[in-house]
Amino acid sequence: MTAIYTEDSIRTLDWKEHIQKRPGMYIGKLGDGSSQDDGIYVLLKEVMDNSIDEFMMGFGKVIDIEMTNNYVKVRDFGRGVPLGKLKDVASKMNTGAKYDSKAFKKSVGLNGVGIKAVNALSESFKIEAFREGEVKSIEFENGTVVNEQDIQKTAEKNGTQTTFVPNRDIFGDYHYIEEYVVSLIKNYVYLNTGLTIKLNGEKYSSKNGLLDLLEENMSTDGIYPIIHLKGEDIEVAITHGSQYGEEYYSFTNGQHTTHGGTHLAAFREALVKTIRDFYKKDFDPSDIRTSIVAAVSIKVEEPVFESQTKTKLGSKNIGPNGPSIRNFIGDFLKNELDNYLHRNSEVAESLQRKIIESEKERKAISGIKKLAKQRAKKASLHNKKLRDCRVHFNSNSENKEETMIFITEGDSASGSITKSRNVNTQAVFSLKGKPLNTFGLTKKIVYENEEFNLLQAALNIEEGIENLRYNNVIIATDADVDGMHIRLLLITFFLQFFPDLVRNGHLYILQTPLFRVRNKKETHYCYSEEEKSKAIKKLKLNPEITRFKGLGEISPDEFKYFIDKDIRLDRVRLRREDAVKDLLEFYMGKNTPERQDFIVENLKIDVVD
């Protein structure tokens, strides 16, 4: 039957309907709060950005946040939204003061959408503006006004208060993780010295900006004191650690650009040129940047980002009449970093030793790398270790954020996932036996060991995670002792050689059901004993109970339920207090007696009747 296409087929969505039907256009992915880039954190950030912009313009040194698992209230003490425009600001697209560059010269939010997206995607939303002894308040439900009060007198200080509850019909059974919220808040205060943010009464502030940020986030001390440089509209902090890879924190107008952009590319390029000129040696860029930990923050007029969520800067220039970002950052480092190294000879000597050490290691494994690349290329042609997907992370596809690769153990498990996966976005890599314990080994092993060489090639991370082929790297092993051990060995590998893959939130553990409880009418998949007990009670009469001993026992027809929209993933996270070297030394080193004592002291025994 041919679909009828007439004038009646054409309809125009109002502002809130469009946001509700296409939330990804405005806040990226939805999620339930288990990942730091899930939509509920974007909603919080959109509200916070308005308050931060007020502070950057010189108004309001304190921001108060009250938060539970789903309720959020943000109160700033800026100028307050002009009362007569309060409804337009909250519910009229392309409306805001930030189009006026005199009012908000170097703002984060410039498109007049953010707060409207929060309103449309919240089951309840209330905005109050306090201005010169007067207050106006408007309440919404799912973007529709339900209560608008007339302007009244008030003794409250100037500012804006926004209260919202994200819509569970859109975000599902979500919850805010305090650790993620605190991380967001800390980034704000690092970039805005003099600002205090209070979360449920606890205060956060910073005196030393990006210097504090690096000290907070580095799991080990740098090999030389952090180089901290500040100029007009730019601030950088630089050191080198003992880890592999490169670790960056980049910001534009206070916005954490987690995917980098033109400013980060310019910084990496300028750093290499400045150091080459200082030492008068043509060092390889990879030798200069290996093990670097750096933060860069710039302020740009009318910034252009590559998506609504503002995670990657696309601007080429500092402003309409300003220099290019490339020249701006290049000139800054050429002057300030060069001067710093001339004034601090001990730091300059430590940095040079680090570069030379990296150069020696790179040359020592260059021959092995060449052979390893040839093996990986041959294996990708003739082996079945990698079942690729049609969309890749570095493509221009809209689905690149959804790409994932499952790292599985054995042919049976990989076979089940391969048959049930989404071939557009999901790839499968099959391990052969248990991986090597890489703790304490050099990067040479990455190329000499066939499994790790092929895994690195499949992920395309040899030159760093910028070219990571899949956004989500998922360890999918059995929920038994052997499976847990393989998980640990893989995590050790990534932490040892590619810690930024973990630190940037790309590594996950796949959760699969332990039990299937069913009768003729219903089937329940249970991930714990508690879920199993609830399913048994619900089904009542003699349900059939199956205990899955391994992923290979789950049929492809069933597996599709666990890796589709209801996929359960646990992100592998690193916190400041997680000293990677100490963690790996304890769990993967040779301290057997201490580890045995730990196991005995923390052993849990389940008693089965």
Query: Distance (Å, rounded) from C-alpha 126 to C-alpha 137?
Result: 7
* Tokens coding 177: 């993780």
Query: Distance (Å, rounded) from C-alpha 546 to C-alpha 561?
Result: 16
Q: Report the DSSP beta bridge partners of residue 61.
A: none
Query: Cα–chain-centroid distance for residue 552?
Result: 31
Q: Is 419 left (phi over 0), alpha (psi -120 to 50) or beta?
A: alpha
What is the dihedral sign for C-alpha 76, 249, 69, 138? Answer: positive
* Tokens coding 305: 């980002």
Q: Is 599 exposed, middle or buried (0-12, 13-18, 19+ CB in 10 A)?
A: exposed
SS3 171: helix
Angle formed by the axes of helices 178-191 and 39-56, nearest 10°: 20
Centre a 10 Å sphere on the Cβ of residue 596 and count the other Cβ atoms it contains: 10
User: Each residue of 520-545: b (16+ CB within 10 Å) or e?
Assistant: eeeebbbeeeebbeebbeebeeebee
Domains of the chain: which residue ranges?
16-204, 210-364, 368-512+550-577, 515-547
* pLDDT at residue 377, as a whole number: 65
Phi, psi of 12 (to 5 degrees): -110, 125
CATH class (in words) of the domain with range 210-364: alpha beta
Query: Distance (Å, rounded) from C-alpha 274 to C-alpha 294?
Result: 15
Low-confidence ranges of the chain (pLDDT < 70): 1-15, 93-113, 219, 307-310, 369, 371-384, 391-399, 575-587, 589, 591-592, 595-600, 602-609
CATH class (in words) of the domain with range 368-512+550-577: alpha beta
Kindly write down the DSSP assignment for every residue of 515-533, as one continuous string: EEEE-SS-EEEESSHHHHH
Identify residue 272 by its one-letter amino acid code.
V
CATH number of 16-204: 3.30.565.10
Contact at 8 Å (CB) between 451 and 386?
no
- pTM beyond 0.85: the answer is no
Q: Which residues contact 302 (CB under 8 A, 6 or more apart)?
A: 101, 110, 315, 319, 320
